[in-house]
């Protein structure tokens, strides 16, 4: 609800009229596309780059 009212600036009527699919689509605008998890090679590269 906080994201709908604050970030999306929706009225309460507009917020409660959204379907879950519509809300998810609106939230993707802020979070960006879904990312896949790191594979072993990418994790190893990060560990080499940041050894601490």
Give, for all 52 residues of the chain, the pLDDT tens digit: 888 899 889 999 999 999 999 998 888 887 777 788 899 999 999 999 999 8
Position 25 in a domain: yes
Question: What domain count does the chain have?
Answer: 1
Position 26 in a domain: yes
What burial letters (b/e) apply to 30-39, b meaning 16+ CB within 10 Å?
eeeeeeeeee
Position 6 in a domain: yes
Look up the domain containing 4 and give its range: 1-32
pTM: 0.55
Position 37 in a domain: no
| Cα angle for residues 27, 31, 36 (degrees, 5° grid) | 120
Position 20 in a domain: yes
Position 49 in a domain: no
What does residue 31 show for φ and ψ, rounded to 5 degrees?
A: -95, -15
């Amino acid at each position: 609800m906080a994201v709908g009212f604050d970030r999306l600036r929706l009225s309460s009527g507009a917020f409660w009229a959204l379907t879950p699919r519509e809300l998810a689509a609106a939230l993707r605008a802020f979070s960006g596309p879904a990312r896949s998890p790191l594979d072993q090679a990418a994790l190893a590269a990060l560990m080499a780059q940041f050894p601490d």
